[in-house]
């Protein structure tokens, strides 16, 4: 029996993950087993689930994360495809519990499916979010085509260059991605260096971080909201690239227009 059967809130959140996984596949942002989703589900774990025995021995995280003691996460499985996760989330993902030493995790449900190889990076971000008192409980990594393409052009990698450009393409980008897009220069995927650089960029005030020539990492209160931010940013990138394909450089909104938007939506 799945742990979702007697926990409506947990079932709802896992269903959201499955929904987003389907969107990522449909958009072409999740080739093969590309991309990852990790959500903090600690607040909807009841006493019976807390006492569940592990399905296998504890696995080292590779680092110690003191803010995650006793926390529970739902994670996409390693080498699992988003299209399969969309159809069967508990057959392509697992629920894990962080042990009291904050350095290991145990798989507690539904099956002994090892989490994503990028789990240490995602958990390090969640540890950071909790340490800051953030309400964010979801992390998403995916490969949005137009945004990744733009990172192959060095001028776009300058601090806030992409933010200003994307904000200017359509009003919704400024309204719904008010913190813009942080940039992390290329680093080895799944590396400690990449995790640390991502946390450093989030600490500068961004919610969405662009990994040069790789993909996007986004955090938000839930996985739907994290997806929405990436979706809006990539739409702005599509508009820019469509204009260039038509043979002109898009004018974009002026700084005054962007300022008016910020005032209208109470943005910083």
**Are residues 245 and 210 part of one domain?**
yes
**Among 117, 142, 167, which residue terminates a domain?**
142
Between 6 and 245, the higher pLDDT residue: 245
Residue of 19, 31, 91, 118 marked catalytic: 118
Q: What is the pLDDT of residues 182-195, one digit of tens each?
A: 999 999 998 889 99
* pLDDT tens per residue, range 226-266: 999 999 999 999 999 999 999 999 999 999 999 888 888 76
Identify the residue whose tokens are 């025995």: 53
**Residue 267, pLDDT above cutoff 90:** no
Q: Which domain holds residue 10?
A: 1-142
Beta carbons within 8 Å of 64's beta carbon, 6+ residues apart: 101, 102, 103
CA 170 to CA 253: how far, in whole Å? 8
Q: Give yes or no: residues 134 and 64 share one domain.
A: yes
88 with 160, same domain: the answer is no
**Alpha helices per DSSP H over the chain:** 8-26, 47-50, 82-87, 119-131, 145-150, 161-167, 171-176, 192-203, 223-245, 255-264
| pTM recorded for the entire structure | 0.95
Please count the structural domains in the chain.
2
- Domain co-membership, 150 together with 135: no
What is the share, in percent, of the chain residues with pLDDT greater than 90? 88
| Bond preceding residue 27 cis, omega within 30 of 0 | no
113, 142, 171: which is the final residue of a domain? 142
The candidate with the shortest Cα–Cα distance to 209, out of 224, 220, 196, 219, is 219
Domain match, 108 and 163 both: no
pLDDT tens string 75-126: 999 999 999 999 999 999 999 999 999 999 999 988 999 999 899 999 999 9
What is d(CA 94, CA 56) in angstroms, rounded to the nearest whole number? 12
16 classed as catalytic: no
Q: What is the pLDDT of residue 1?
A: 72
Closest CA to 37 of 224, 188, 237: 224
CATH number of residue 180's parent domain: 3.40.225.10
Query: Which residue, 142, 164, 184, sits at the end of a domain?
Result: 142
């Amino acid at each position: 029996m799945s742990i979702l059967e007697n926990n409506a809130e947990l079932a709802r959140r896992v269903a959201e993950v499955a929904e987003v996984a389907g969107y990522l596949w449909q958009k072409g942002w999740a080739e093969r087993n590309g991309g990852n989703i990790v959500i903090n589900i600690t607040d909807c774990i009841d006493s019976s689930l807390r006492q569940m025995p592990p399905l296998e021995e504890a696995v080292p995280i590779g680092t110690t994360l003191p803010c995650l003691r006793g926390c529970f996460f739902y994670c996409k499985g390693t080498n699992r495809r988003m299209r399969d996760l969309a159809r069967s989330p508990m057959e392509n993902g697992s629920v894990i519990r962080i042990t009291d030493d904050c350095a290991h995790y145990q798989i507690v449900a539904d099956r002994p499916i090892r989490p994503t190889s990028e789990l240490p990076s995602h958990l390090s971000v969640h540890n950071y979010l909790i340490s800051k008192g953030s309400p964010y409980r979801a992390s998403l990594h995916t490969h949005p085509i137009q945004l990744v393409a733009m990172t192959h052009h060095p001028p776009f990698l300058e601090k806030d260059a992409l933010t200003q450009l994307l904000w200017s393409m359509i009003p919704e980008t400024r309204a719904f991605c008010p913190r813009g897009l942080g940039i992390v220069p290329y680093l080895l995927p799944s590396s400690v260096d990449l995790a640390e650089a991502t946390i450093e960029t989030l600490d500068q005030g961004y919610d969405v971080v662009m990994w040069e020539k790789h993909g996007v990492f986004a955090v938000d209160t839930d996985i739907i909201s994290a997806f929405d931010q990436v979706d809006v940013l990539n739409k702005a990138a599509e508009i820019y690239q469509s204009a260039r394909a038509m043979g002109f450089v898009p004018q974009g909104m002026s700084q005054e227009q962007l300022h008016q938007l910020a005032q209208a939506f109470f943005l910083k």
